[in-house]
Amino acid sequence: MSIFKGSGVAVVTPMHDNGEVNYEQFAKLLEFQIANGTDAIIVCGTTGESSTLTHEEHLEVIRYCVETVAGRIPVVAGTGSNCTDTAVYLSVEAEQAGADGLLLVSPYYNKATQNGLYAHFKKVAEAVKLPILLYNVPSRTGCNIQPETVVRLCRDVENIVGVKEASGNISQIAHLAAISGGMVDIYSGNDDQIVPIMSLGGKGVISVIANVAPHQTHEICQKFLDGDAEGSCKMQLEAIELYEALFCEVNPIPVKKALELMGMIDGALRMPLTPMEPANVERLKSAMRAYGIL
């Protein structure tokens, strides 16, 4: 059974100006997501700036998220690392914290072989009982999880159940869908590819845009699941300008600025991320106004 179907938000981690995690604002974001129909919370992923959280902060954010959500929707914890032992440690701790599933990014910088990826994910999965989604984002990791490797892992390892596909390569994703025989739960990792990937049998999206438009992103997925592909596609296309603005600088710089403009968070980032360029802020404001969220 899938961890979730529909829209899972890759939630940001709000911070104070001094860089400490702002739990008060985090709680408000989680309530905003649940109230607006988001189907799952994905915490401590790329959008959550997991790469600059200490291990202690990383796990505390997961614990706080699980406690605040309190079983109302699934919480999927990002626990991947380029160090296999670290990924095992974070995954075991997230399971003990009560997460409903795990998201494991492929090891970055190391650029493992396909056999190395298989061994890495298998070792992490064997340390826990939670269902696991792989996370394929070669633009950030320098490493592409080939479809055959995804299928091999889902076939051989009981609790590896799917993949967040953010390669942007629709041909690769179609190949994965074709060879998996429905064994692999596929989620779009790109907000502009929700409908194409769901048309290939995908279960939904792990979304950045859902941070600022949770109801609309849920509806894009739900319409498709309900058989209204035309309505789903129309909503997807209406969001393209906003999506492009949210990625005119590296994620999560623009989405944190968007949430700041909405009065939801302070918008602080951790270096090496830096504030959004003024011209891009204006572009973002324009897209948000056009979409009706500002």
Residues with a catalytic annotation lie at: 135, 164
Q: Using CA of residue 143, residue 192, residue 262, residue 34, what is the dihedral sign?
A: negative
SS (H, E, C) 189-207: CCHHHHHHHHHCCCCEEEE
Q: Are 3 and 33 within 8 A, CB to CB?
A: no
Using CB atoms within 10 Å of the CB of residue 203, give its burial: 0 to 12 exposed, 13 to 18 middle, 19+ buried: buried
| Residue 137, C-beta contacts closer than 8 angstroms, at least 6 positions apart | 46, 105, 106, 164, 166, 167, 189
**What stretch of H or E contains 104?**
strand 101-105
Largest CA distance in the chain: 49
Q: Which residues are 204's β-sheet partners?
A: 6, 187
Q: Please tell me the distance from the alpha carbon of residue 179 to that of residue 103, in angstroms, as a whole number.
A: 22
Q: How far apart are CA 204 and CA 1, in angstroms?
A: 14
Which H or E run contains 139? helix 138-141
